[in-house]
Chains A and B, each alone.
Chain A
Amino acid sequence: MNEYRDIEDFVKGRLEEGVSSSPPRLAEIERAAAAESFALVAEHRSRRRCTVAMLLAASIAIVFSFAVLHIDSSPKPENTVACVIDLLRTADGAETLSETSTESESEETTVAEMLLAWQDAPYESAIADL
């Protein structure tokens, strides 16, 4: 592997030997660069303006959507659907629902007890009732 490196270094050294370090036709290159520079700078500025405008638009969109979401999330009593949803969401609503279900459960318990009581009634009493 050393020899490969040796050959590469040697060839590089020899190829660059005697090559002028002053670039050929530098003045022509500079002229071309000066002519092109205006277009390049204008292109860069326009690209930068575009990027800034896009960032600004994105920021406004984010702030706006955040504000709209915030407003939408507040309760609206005049809206029936919103009221119902609100009722279901709030703790009061949950209590109402639980109360309703408790009442219905107690009603069911009473009926069951009555049925049981009826089934367990002494035969004599039933006859007497007749």
Chain B
Amino acid sequence: MEEDSELLFAYSRRGDVESLSVLVRRHAVWMQAFLRGLLPTAEDAEDAFQETWVRVVKSAGKYRGGKVKPYLAVVARSAVIDRLRQMGRLVSLDVEDGEGASAAERLPDESPSPGERFESKATAEDVREAVRALPEGPRQVLLMRIEGELSFKEIASELGVPLGTALTWMRTATLKLKEMLGDRNERIPRYRRFREGAA
């Protein structure tokens, strides 16, 4: 199987549209999930998906190698920003709430204990809702990390925030999602019943 970078070079150097199609198909799932997490509706995500690839096509000549997935995530995010700007829904990352605390400082007190397992019955739609309910900064960091696979350094640079802020936002996102989605007490008895039944 050809590497992503080879496919992108095949398109930008030889005009091989089929290579680009393979690349689009290969990255379709995570990119749609990424865009759905950042935009309000599925239609917006679909438009942004197309816009992302048109931008990739136009800037393919400037690609000089390196990991393709984080590169695509950065292009996708810029398409999202432009779309939100058009919709008048762009929220500043360092926006503060009424009490003067930034999103990074509104951390839940609860910390997971080491070795504790996360369990949840939440459906895909529950998770999408929960992700969309996150503050802007933590949401972007979470999606760039888990879907775009960017390093925290790259995320911080992309968002224009210090590395510590990016890490804090990731922690905020994770803890808030745990708070919204976790229902360990329901899951563990079900798992135990299954084990007992099998024995």
Residues of A near any B CB (own CB < 8 A): 1-4, 6-8, 10-12, 14-26, 28-30, 32-34, 36-38, 40-41, 43-44
- Residues of chain B within 8 A (CB-CB) of A16 are 29-30, 33
- Residues of chain A within 8 A (CB-CB) of B147 are 12, 15
Q: Would A14 and B127 count as touching, CB distance under 8 A?
A: yes
- Residues of chain A within 8 A (CB-CB) of B112 are 3-4
* From B14, B49, B57, B178, residue with most partner A Cβ within 10 Å: B57
Q: Would B118 and A32 count as touching, CB distance under 8 A?
A: no
**Interface residue range, chain B:** 35 or more
A–B pairs, 22, beta carbons within 8 Å: A2-B117, A3-B112, A3-B117, A3-B118, A7-B118, A7-B174, A10-B127, A12-B146, A14-B124, A14-B126, A14-B127, A15-B37, A15-B147, A21-B28, A23-B28, A26-B25, A29-B24, A29-B53, A29-B57, A32-B54, A36-B57, A37-B16
- How many angstroms from the CA of A34 to the CA of B20 in the assembled complex? 10
A33/B57 contact (C-beta < 8 A), A14-B122, A15-B127, A20-B28 known: yes
A113 to chain B, nearest CB (A): 84
A44/B122 contact (C-beta < 8 A), A3-B116, A16-B30 known: no
Q: A23: nearest residue on chain B (CB-CB)?
A: B28
Interface assignment of B73: CB less than 8 Å from any CB of chain A:
no
Contacts between chains A and B (CB distance < 8 A), count: 127
Interface assignment of B17: CB less than 8 Å from any CB of chain A:
yes
- How many angstroms from the CA of A43 to the CA of B53 in the assembled complex? 19
- How many angstroms from the CA of A12 to the CA of B127 in the assembled complex? 9
Residues of B near any A CB (own CB < 8 A): 11-17, 20-21, 24-25, 28-30, 32-33, 36-37, 46, 49-50, 53-54, 57-58, 60-61, 112-118, 120, 122-124, 126-128, 131, 142, 145-147, 171, 174, 177-178, 181
18 more A-B residue pairs beyond the given contacts A11-B146, A33-B17, with a C-beta to C-beta distance below 8 A: A3-B117, A7-B174, A10-B181, A12-B33, A12-B146, A14-B126, A14-B128, A15-B33, A17-B124, A19-B36, A22-B28, A24-B49, A25-B49, A29-B24, A29-B57, A30-B17, A32-B57, A44-B13
- How many angstroms from the CA of A32 to the CA of B56 in the assembled complex? 10
A49 to chain B, nearest CB (A): 13
A10/B25 contact (C-beta < 8 A), A3-B178, A16-B30, A41-B14 known: no
Q: Looking at the complex, which one of B21, B131, B145 makes contact with A15 (CB distance below 8 Å)?
A: B131
Q: Would A8 and B145 count as touching, CB distance under 8 A?
A: yes
Give me the 7 closest cross-chain CB pairs, A-B, nearest first. A37-B15, A6-B118, A14-B127, A3-B112, A23-B28, A15-B33, A17-B124
